[in-house]
Amino acid sequence: MSKTAVTTIINRNLRNFKCSEGWQNARDERYHTYRRNWHAYPTTHHVSDFPLHLDIEITNACNLRCRMCARTLLDATGDLPETGFMEFDFYTRLIDQGVSQGLASVKLNFLGEPLLHPRVADMVAYAKEAGVVEVMCNTNAMLLTPKLSRDLLAAGLDSIFFSVDSIRKKVLEHIRFGSHFETVMGNIQFFLGARQQLRKTTVQVGVNMVLMENNADELDEFLAFWKPQVDRVNWSVDQHKASGSSTQAELARGKTRLEAFCCAQLWQRLVVCVDGTCLPCCLDHRRELAVGDAYTTPIAEIWRHSPRYEVLRRLHGQGRYQDIPACHACPFSLDEEAAC
């Protein structure tokens, strides 16, 4: 298969609506260079000295049991790795390795809720002081107290994405089991107010919605509610509970799986789990594609020379993603209009 027949997918995991670009315009040239590289490296299959982005799982613990979450399913089947919290010293080692070799972005979660970590604000501050361009996290907002909001903003948090799913109390509390609607909404509103009060013009705030049968009918309502308040609204399809459901079938109507595609993540990012396990994909929740152990091997060595990474990049570069069991049914390979 010729190289030109392979479609490289960049940012295919969700749909989004940009409500405001003021935060983006206020950021410096380092951020814009990083974003240009984010798009350029996969299209040229450039293996940089170090991943542009690390997903650092500072904890795999969570305070909720969301019905569509991969963590909930792994826990139910006994496949969830032992719950733990990343040691601060190990976290700083990861940051120190990266900043001198091109690390530009860090997200502080994978399967867990990052605000459970008692040193989450310190982790943000350390990365920013070390020179990381963008530090971000996803959160269910239940633990985002006023003090923690102020601490995160003071530490230099660049982007925060609230996982909300619904603006209806019964629906939100049903989907995100263990949550409390008024607490979630109140915490988000406080953070938005604190951002404005502290004049943190470069901080991006987004909300995430996972579409499923419970909430698919409220997407327009959801957008209308959040558009005046946040910078970005993201939505995706439930790939776990809703597999094969009418919701997924309706949303995927008219899309076909690409015969050949090349996953951009192999040239952009690396996941470091709480126990040091390194994954090449943010959807590899079962760790089928583990490429190394960050406790024993430098990230740059794993990124550039892991035998499994070399195989994954070669097969994806040839459009043979379906030869990889963990990749062949990936939702990223659905044909959409945004292919690069």
Find the domain containing 105 and state its range. Answer: 3-333
In a domain, 84, yes or no: yes
CB atoms within 10 A of CB 216: 19
Based on the number of CB atoms within 10 Å of its own CB, is 7 exposed (0-12), middle (13-18) or buried (19 or more)? middle
Residue 339 inside a domain? The answer is no
Domain assignment of residue 197, yes or no? yes
pLDDT tens figures, 180-219: 999 999 999 999 999 999 999 999 999 999 998 889 899 9
What's the pLDDT score for residue 240?
Answer: 54
pLDDT, the chain, mean: 89
Q: Quote the pLDDT of residue 330.
A: 82
pLDDT band at 239 (very low <50, low <70, confident <90, very high): low
* Side chain identity, residue 328: H
Asked whether residue 255 is domain-assigned, the answer is yes
Residue 249 has pLDDT above 90, yes or no: no
pLDDT, one tens digit per residue, over 250-273 is: 444 445 677 778 899 999 999 999
Between 88 and 328, residue with greater pLDDT:
88
Nearest in space to 255 (alpha carbons), one of 331, 340, 310: 331
- The verdict on residue 217 lying in a domain is yes
Count other Cβ atoms within 10 Å, centred on residue 41: 19
Is position 338 within any domain?
no
Long-range contacts: 324-331, Cβ < 8 Å, 24+?
324/289, 325/288, 326/281, 326/284, 326/286, 326/288, 326/289, 327/263, 327/281, 330/263, 330/283, 331/13, 331/237, 331/239, 331/283
Q: Is residue 122 part of a domain?
A: yes
Global confidence as pTM: 0.90
Confidence of residue 4 (pLDDT cuts 50, 70, 90): very low
The whole-number pLDDT of residue 261 equals 80
Ranges 85-94, 99-108, 331-340: which has the least confidence? 331-340
Which CATH number characterizes residue 173's domain? 3.20.20.70
**3-class state of residue 215 by DSSP:** coil
Interior angle at CA 182, CA 142 and CA 80, nearest 5: 30
Of 140-144, 245-249, 295-299, minimum mean pLDDT range:
245-249
> What is the domain count for the chain?
1
Quick check: is 321 in a domain?
yes
Residue 89, pLDDT score: 98
